[in-house]
Structure 1
């Protein structure tokens, strides 16, 4: 990933926070059949490897797990907040007019050793952890145990687990750090006028990385 120094984010906790907040990762493999990519929700497990471990599952009918079992290298991309930035928000536009549009974003890329797991106990635990994370904010969280046991058992037969020990993890927070302070303030203020979650999240990032 192209990494200008001002946009690098090497703090592991910050990288992990983005993965937890945006767990739908793009799993990319490069096997004998060429490149393959699938969007898959991941559970981040810490403590078992220095940088963390990603756990997921795919449908047994999804041939990507066979690529992983055969040793294909893997890349997982987690996309955080992103939004178009109009030059109209820059103070520099009024001063010189020498401005162009851009796109702000926060992103994490992971590479590591991947393996497939065909074990009902592991799969049940992975699904429980993933579901628990995403249901925790609900007033009455749904749990896997709410479904009939025989139904869950049947569903588990249709999936394969994937586990990736992260060997490299890169973060890129392109949030207007290369602009003068007045431009960054204009960007944050402009984003405040947009009624979208991603705009609000990006405005917060622009302010945070301006300090």
Structure 2
């Protein structure tokens, strides 16, 4: 992706944190009729390989998995994003030489897809994915709470995909290129409606106390 130097985020742990906080990624691959893209909930294995490993499953009826084995794919993860009005900028009041923009946080991961079409792998992936997202609940739901024959019937309807990340890029376009007064204005302007982005602007804009 297009990467101005001041928007790059090359720290792997920060990229991984974004994936885990926003795990619903867009899997992009090539099919017989051209490009295919599906939004899917991914599970990240941080310590596998050089840059981590992504695991996911999709419906067996979804044609994307056919022909996917051994194919290079792209997975896009999107964090906070929002429109930024020029009204937030001190520069607007000083010179008027400003235009609107978007702030956003994004990670793109590339690797070779491997199809995992066996029940043991799917069992493990489903349990790990469920545990990951149920962990914060007072009484977490577990896969074993459902009747085993029912779970087995559900497993027959899905296919697993595993991607060892070969290349990963992070882009944090969060007003770093603006003067300090403009960065402060953006953080203040977004504080109520978009607190997540406001926090990122403060952090990357060196505005935190």
Tell whether 2:37 aligns with 1:37.
yes
1:210 match: 205
1:59 match: 59
Q: Return the TM-score normalized by structure 2.
A: 0.96
Cα displacement string for residues 77-128 of structure 1 (whole angstroms, at most 9, x for unaligned residues): 0000000101000000110011111000000001001110011111011011
Deviation at 1:46, TM superposition (A): 2.1
Tell whether 2:4 aligns with 1:4.
yes
> Are the equivalent residues in 1 in contact too, given 2:71–2:112 (CA < 8 A)?
no
Matching of residues 100-111 of structure 1 within 5 Å: 100-111=99-110
Secondary structure in 1 matching 2:99: coil
Deviation at 1:36, TM superposition (A): 0.3
Distance in 2, Cα, partners of 1:46 & 1:18: 12
Deviation at 1:192, TM superposition (A): 1.0
Secondary structure in 2 matching 1:137: coil
Distance in 1, Cα, partners of 2:67 & 2:99: 42
> Which aligned runs of 4 or more in structure 1 are off by greater than 2 angstroms?
none
1:186 match: 185
Distance in 2, Cα, partners of 1:160 & 1:97: 55
Q: Return the TM-score normalized by structure 1.
A: 0.96
1:130 match: 129
Distance in 1, Cα, partners of 2:138 & 2:183: 38
Q: How many residues align?
A: 206
Structure 1 gap segments, 5+ residues each: none
Secondary structure in 2 matching 1:168: strand
Deviation at 1:31, TM superposition (A): 3.0
